[in-house]
Amino acid sequence: MSILHLIDTNQWFSSFSVEKSEQAIHALEQGHILYLPTLPFQLFPEENEFLSPSFAEPKAKNISFNRHTQILRCAKCPAEKYDRLKEMMQRFSIQAEQLVQSLLPAYTAEIQLGRTSFRPIEIAGRLSSYRKDDTRLHVDAFPATPNQGRRILRVFSNINPHGKTRHWRVGEPFSEVVKRFLPQVSKQWRGSAALLKWLKLTKSTRTTYDHIMLQIHDRMKADLNYQKTVAQQSIHFASGASWIVQTDHVSHAAMSGQHVLEQTFYLPVAAMANPALSPLMVLEELTGRSLT
């Protein structure tokens, strides 16, 4: 059974029926990926030069843009090109937000804008620590940016100019991931969350939920036997295609590909159509206590 839920549109802001929107939300919350194979992000001719790894700092995985602060990070370019790169990423961010508003209108009142990223570096062969190795199956959890139970919803678009796909592996359902790795999670030290925040190692308080999710993320990546033997699907996202996924719920690994744009959103659990499917509520049910 394919994990992809097909959405047929070539417009970032379209008119979808109530039925299609409800189906899309149901699919997302069940752990499927909304796939939009005919929805490309169009670059302006003068933006094509940014399709080079030379525009990212050597040790960076991606270039990051914060629409709230207008700050661009990890970009390596002359001052006269800096603003054009920022404008390209901001345009993608706005279009991704328009897509979410039109396709997932039930989320619109509560969804929160996160950062935008541009990934001009080939994934395959990139050296990193195992925790930062995105070619290993994982669910998303952020060490420095606790999400405190909110859902992580991401919009991706493959802008590779040479027709190269973005190759993902998608692993077992979240319910199975948790059964396997929750027993391995160590207890959060009392006072550690306050200390991490005081030391400015986290931008907000790392809740028990964040602690558990981060350990599950790390233990998944560290288990090489699991990476090889767990049931999984191989998916190739075409150049010119876009997709939407809740990456805190879907076990995924990016195996190869270059030149992708991504917009992160955060969604409070209460805004979901079925909050019981959230990682927060799944973990609270299994642990028998509040985690945030």
Digit-coded pLDDT (tens) for 154-213:
999 999 999 999 999 999 999 999 999 999 999 999 899 999 999 999 999 999 999 999
**Mean pLDDT, residues 277-289:** 97
Give the per-residue pLDDT at 79.
84
The per-residue pLDDT for 1 is 64
Instruction: Say what the pLDDT of residue 80 is.
Output: 85
**What is the structure's pLDDT at 36?**
98
Q: What is the pLDDT of residue 2?
A: 82
Percent of the chain with pLDDT over 90: 92
Q: What does the pLDDT read at residue 125?
A: 85
Give the whole-angstrom CA distance, residue 32 versus residue 103: 15
pLDDT tens profile 120-161: 999 998 878 999 899 999 999 999 999 999 999 999 999 999
Q: What is the pLDDT, as a whole number, of residue 127?
A: 79
Contact assessment for residue 114 and residue 265, using Cβ atoms and an 8 Å cutoff:
yes
Q: Which residues of 280-290 are buried (b: 16+ CB within 10 A; e: fewer)?
A: bbbbbeeeeee
Over range 101-128, report the average pLDDT.
94
Residue 58: pLDDT band (50, 70, 90) is confident
Q: At 221, is the pLDDT very low, low, confident or very high (cuts 50, 70, 90)?
A: very high
The DSSP string of the chain is ---EEE---S-SS----HHHHHHHHHHHHTT-EEEETT-PPPPPGGGGGG-SGGGB-TT-SSEEEETTTTEEESB---HHHHHHHHHHHHHHHHHHHHHHHHH-GGGTTT-EEEEEEEE-S-STT----GGG-TTS-B----SSS--TT-EEEEEEEE--TT---EEEEE-S-HHHHHHHHGGGPPPPPTTHHHHHHHTTSSSS---HHHHHHHHHHHHHHH-HHHHHHS--EEEEEPTT-EEEEETTTS-EEEEE---EEEEEEEE-GGGSS-GGGSHHHHHHHHHTS---
70-102 pLDDT, tens digit per residue, is 999 999 988 889 999 999 999 999 999 999 999
Average pLDDT over residues 47-54: 95
Domains present along the chain, CATH in parentheses: 4-287 (2.60.120)
Q: What is the mean pLDDT of the chain?
A: 95
Q: What is the pLDDT of residue 4?
A: 97
Confidence of residue 215 (pLDDT cuts 50, 70, 90): very high
